[in-house]
Structure 1
């Protein structure tokens, strides 16, 4: 099976794609990964072929000030807004063109993208289902408990409508949310 995987050039997000790429490549699948140049070596070490993101959206996640002009001057919510727009929204058109170009150049049996690879949405909205391979999304966001704050944001805990503390204080947290007895199971 020939698969195209895509991720933004952000360490925490590409890790999921690299794990999937390595697992599929080790099973004999032909894997191509659309990602940032910084991760080329890791993509190839996973047994996949590397496709670079366009330079305009290929940034070093360890030096966001270089990619996002004016970032150093922002504080608080203004800084968060600036970063979210710059890292996840403004890159969508170029990610879309890169994804579309990769799919026009080669035939793939399926596409797997990390959920914040924004170029996926316009591709899905503009390409009829019968003219594209199946597209799947994976997420790098993990939490051991539904009682965690959103994305480990550090936001203050508060009591929810069910009168339990969202941060899990005073509650035992199972080691896995996937187990039938975990917090997602009916009680």
Structure 2
């Protein structure tokens, strides 16, 4: 009998892309696969040969939240509003759609990204009466632990264990008070779908209810937790493959190999305002003996500020070739982009303070693979100092290479599907 999977993704490219890697591996092995996500990703899903199922309009909202600088959520005080708007408001309609799809066509396994809260409706059932559930960690892990600060603060663990745990306990108590509206809204949603309530747990801990917690990184880039869930496993990043190779611009082969190459990007989502990271980076490095390669993430080159003489730009670049020549990456911190850089041993200057980027920035700092500027709008002086610091201290590149070595031997989508198939066999 052909095994079947329903993959549930929040409507954002950073969610859909990694889950499509899993979908392709399932399909390669003969699984029947459907992917539930936003309408604008239909062509992307169908081009991968996967059956597309649209979210209802009420749940197809994430791409329209935070597209401009004025609406992106920053800091602990704004998490209440941000989590409710981005993830809790669409959760009810998403849960209803999920239930309808499974009633119409049952699935053996439901894969879901970590922020697709509609999957909580499945935990209203006994385990034997629901599909196997697999949580896909497409960004930094948020499980509560005595060894880590609460998710959303962007604070790294302390190196002294006793002091670290004492501080984390105090931060956890404080965060539950500050985030009381989120916890109240989460409990109302869970009650509405018949799922168990939080019962005093941190709101991110609902993620640990899934049968397998598949984190798309390596342990070297995640906080160590002595009390981590037993069902947490690391598979490395789900590296997406471009359907067509990106051609290199004419200037690419003219770069001087004797000069360090700094690559700066704001990714393909938070790239509507280049004054955040790209513009101050160009200014910071204009008179240094380096070359700067800028990508706009698909936006027109005319949207960039004037380029200094040592800077070159393209909408996209052949990334593997680029990173093989890059000495430092300056970025606002998308999870996939960071792993792509570390795969090539490239150290990072990170400037992100919105959405999940405070947590990815903190992990760059904790892993020692780069410099965390602790803001989404760094000054040219701060960027210049960080780039010079990394170029002068090869330990950043060495640690990035160590993470890259771990990524190179990670089990990836094949390992994830191996484990899921073994769990299904055991369940049968």
SS of the aligned residue for 1:4 comes to strand
Q: 1:122 to 1:154 in 2, by over 3 A?
A: closer
Matched residue pairs, number? 168
Please point out which of 127, 130, 147 is paired with 2:128.
Answer: 130
Aligned residue for 1:64?
65
**Structure 2: stretches of 5+ with no match in the other structure:** 142-148, 164-361, 369-394, 411-428
SS of the aligned residue for 1:3 comes to strand
TM-score (norm 1): 0.72
Aligned residue for 1:146?
none
CA offset at residue 121 of structure 1? 1.7
Give the Cα–Cα distance (whole angstroms) in 1 for the partners of residues 5 and 71 of structure 2.
Answer: 39
Q: Could you report, residue by residue, the CA deviation over 1:126-170 in whole angstroms, capped at 9, with x for unpaired residues?
A: 122222221211111269xxxxx998x89466743259x963447
Aligned residue for 1:12?
14
SS of the aligned residue for 1:167 comes to helix
CA offset at residue 80 of structure 1? 3.8
Aligned residue for 1:183?
none
Aligned residue for 1:140?
138
**Structure 1: stretches of 5+ with no match in the other structure:** 144-148, 181-187
Please point out which of 49, 71, 78 is paired with 2:51.
Answer: 49
Check whether the contact 1:13–1:139 (CA below 8 A) recurs between aligned residues: no
Aligned residue for 1:105?
104
Check whether the contact 1:15–1:140 (CA below 8 A) recurs between aligned residues: no
Aligned residue for 2:28?
26
RMSD: 3.6
Q: 1:53 to 1:178 in 2, by over 3 A?
A: same
CA offset at residue 89 of structure 1? 1.8
Aligned residue for 2:374?
none
Check whether the contact 1:89–1:118 (CA below 8 A) recurs between aligned residues: yes
Quick check: 170-179 or 37-46, which moved more? Answer: 170-179
SS of the aligned residue for 1:116 comes to coil
Give the Cα–Cα distance (whole angstroms) in 2 for the partners of residues 16 and 114 of structure 1.
Answer: 9
Which structure has more relative contact order (CA 8 Å, sep 6+)? It is 1
Give the Cα–Cα distance (whole angstroms) in 1 for the partners of residues 157 and 5 of structure 2.
Answer: 43
Check whether the contact 1:26–1:47 (CA below 8 A) recurs between aligned residues: no
Quick check: 134-143 or 45-54, which moved more? Answer: 134-143
Higher share of residues assigned helix: 2
Give the Cα–Cα distance (whole angstroms) in 1 for the partners of residues 71 and 42 of structure 2.
Answer: 28
Q: 1:20 to 1:74 in 2, by over 3 A?
A: closer
Q: 1:14 to 1:73 in 2, by over 3 A?
A: closer
CA offset at residue 85 of structure 1? 1.7
Q: 1:60 to 1:117 in 2, by over 3 A?
A: closer
Give the Cα–Cα distance (whole angstroms) in 1 for the partners of residues 72 and 25 of structure 2.
Answer: 42
Give the Cα–Cα distance (whole angstroms) in 2 for the partners of residues 73 and 136 of structure 1.
Answer: 29
